[in-house]
Structure 1
Amino acid sequence: MGGTRENESVPALRRAVRILDLVGDREVPPNAGEIARLLDLPRSSVHGLVAVMTELGLLEQTGGHGSGYRPGPRLLDWAAHVSSPRDLLGAFHHLVGACPELGNYTVSLGALDGDEVVYLASRASERGLGVHYNVGLKLPAIYTATGKIQLAAMTPSALREWISLYPLATWPAPLTARCPVTPDEVLKEIHQAAELGYALDDEQIHAGVWCFAAPVRDSRGMTVAGLGLSQPKPAHEECDPQKLARLAVSSAAELSALLGYRRRDKEVGV
């Protein structure tokens, strides 16, 4: 076959993907014979594959016997459940532009990447408070509010697996004196975040700065990021932390709604 040997594991699946790629790129839907010729595949194999793929809705025949094939309706069903990074960023910028109440805070969007959070977007406070997260910045997930809330959204088994992949010995040194330093302290903060529906970075990344974060969910209900609101921590009691926590939760919920998420079960809030 074309001078290259297919991986002998699940070769039919690999061929099916090649067929989907081909029919998706062709302006004129190719028939089974043309697919076999263009992909240098056995005709008998292609006829069997396209028949099953048509039965499953992955392909759609354009006419009668011998006619061409195009991508099937089942692919559209799957695509409807996928939120691309562009969707997420577009929704984020729409949110911060449409909510004047967020102007007093630095608003950040961070996604879990292994044991770190990578910042996908950030809008600095309109009040020039000097708190900002550059796009592409990576910080330890265990110290950031956006990281902790995504860990809190994991199932117990997934969290145990995460901890086994990134044990204490691999954790970075605390960034400030306010960082938790033992696994028990980290787990306590994560469990509190799960109960409350938001996470707090209380001067753990920047001295004098706190951040409240809530989970961002896509149309499938999967947590895809954390939305954080940051500001210099007030020296006195003029700021109500619960008010900022509620704003973080409501803003993350609005961003999730923009991604197609619809609340299904009772969720913990503030």
Structure 2
Amino acid sequence: MTPTKSPVNTEDRTSSPVEDDAGASHARAKEGMAGLAKGLAIIEAFGANTTRMTVSDAAHLADLSRPAARRCLLTLVELGYLAHDGKFFTPLPRMLRLGGAYLSTSSLPQIAQPLLASARDTLQESISLAVLDEGYAVFIARAEAVRIVSTGVKLGGRLPAYCSATGRVLLGGLPEQQVRAHLESVPMKRFTDRTVANLDGVLKAIRRAAEDGYAISDEELEIGMSAMAVPVRNSAGEIVAALSVSVFSGRVSIETLRENFLPTLRETAGRVQRSL
């Protein structure tokens, strides 16, 4: 998946504070590093569906000129974040350090991990925790069930919020005006013939998730795959994450998700909440 937008590219600059007639400062000095912003835009463009890039790919996905994209890619190669075979650029293990900085300093993944593992052992299915980031559900903790074929996304993976169970739960915690503005700004596409990809339908699904306290995505992202998610709230009652389970729909029915899986997910979410 690719981000809905890249960081704003600005020239390196410093602006002086603006003062009114009384001499009070109204603006702080602002500094920006255009090169850093461009490099991060390219890094964020890598994902499950974009595992390698040419210079043209990077320029298109990060909304950069070809020369700027090439300079950024070669710099990332020099720093050990990317490999280059003469045509394609691919991520190297050092890229994990970037996500690891968040995972190692945020308490949420650390608190949740043993609780996710307990729920996985109970349900014998993979359990994940995701947060909202610019219209995507980003997975920050995961307990993987041992199977020949795994289900769901990997740690650090991103799913579009409008058509994923986790995303709809997370969007359900925002004011409707903000949700509507977001949905109107992102291109919605149908991944399968079951994908809800229109504004009214997605808003209805988000409202239902907020009312029911859970959301289900039934083969909307991939045929044969279903998911259920519940909210995780902080002490103020705000939704800070979504706890989810991914299953093969041929093995686990929607009825089983509701009747047998939902109680465990809610119990686990409650345990995470009490630990925050």
Judge same fold: TM > 0.5, yes or no: yes
TM-score normalised per structure 1: 0.59
Q: Does 1:143 align with 2:184?
A: no
Q: CA deviation at 1:215?
A: 0.7
Q: Do the aligned residues in 1 keep the contact of 2:229 with 2:244 (CA within 8 Å)?
A: yes
Q: CA deviation at 1:112?
A: 1.0
One-letter amino acid of the counterpart of residue 200, structure 2: D
The residue correspondences of 1:151-166 to structure 2 (distance < 5 A) are 151-154=171-174, 158-166=175-183
- Give the RMSD, CA atoms, in angstroms: 3.1
2:153 to 126, 133, 140: 133
Q: CA deviation at 1:164?
A: 1.8
Q: Does 1:227 align with 2:243?
A: yes
Aligned residue number for residue 273 of structure 2: 256
Aligned residue number for residue 187 of structure 2: 171
Aligned residue number for residue 114 of structure 1: 134
Distance between the aligned counterparts of 1:129 and 1:106, measured in 2?
11
Unaligned runs of 5+ in 2: 1-14, 29-103
Q: Do the aligned residues in 2 keep the contact of 1:103 with 1:126 (CA within 8 Å)?
A: no
The residue correspondences of 1:190-201 to structure 2 (distance < 5 A) are 190-201=206-217
Q: Does 1:244 align with 2:261?
A: yes
Q: Do the aligned residues in 1 keep the contact of 2:129 with 2:139 (CA within 8 Å)?
A: yes
The residue correspondences of 1:42-191 to structure 2 (distance < 5 A) are 86-99=106-119, 101-102=121-122, 104-154=124-174, 158-167=175-184, 170-191=186-207
One-letter amino acid of the counterpart of residue 264, structure 2: L
Please list the CA deviations of residues 25-61 of structure 1 after superposition, one character each: whole Å capped at 9, or x if unmatched: xxxxxxxxxxxxxxxxxxxxxxxxxxxxxxxxxxxxx
CA separation of 1:5 and 1:164: change in aligned 2, threshold 3 A: closer
CA separation of 1:100 and 1:137: change in aligned 2, threshold 3 A: closer
SS in 2 for 1:224: strand
Please list the CA deviations of residues 200-236 of structure 1 after superposition, one character each: whole Å capped at 9, or x if unmatched: 1111122211111011112332211111111111368
The residue correspondences of 1:213-224 to structure 2 (distance < 5 A) are 213-224=229-240
TM-score normalised per structure 2: 0.58
Q: Do the aligned residues in 2 keep the contact of 1:124 with 1:132 (CA within 8 Å)?
A: no
Q: CA deviation at 1:129?
A: 4.4
Q: Across the two proteins, how many residue pairs are aligned to each other?
A: 185
SS in 2 for 1:142: helix
Q: CA deviation at 1:127?
A: 3.8
SS in 1 for 2:232: strand
Q: CA deviation at 1:97?
A: 3.3
Q: CA deviation at 1:238?
A: 9.9
Q: CA deviation at 1:6?
A: 4.8
Unaligned runs of 5+ in 1: 15-83, 260-270
Q: Percent identity over the alignment? A: 26
SS in 2 for 1:214: strand
SS in 2 for 1:240: helix
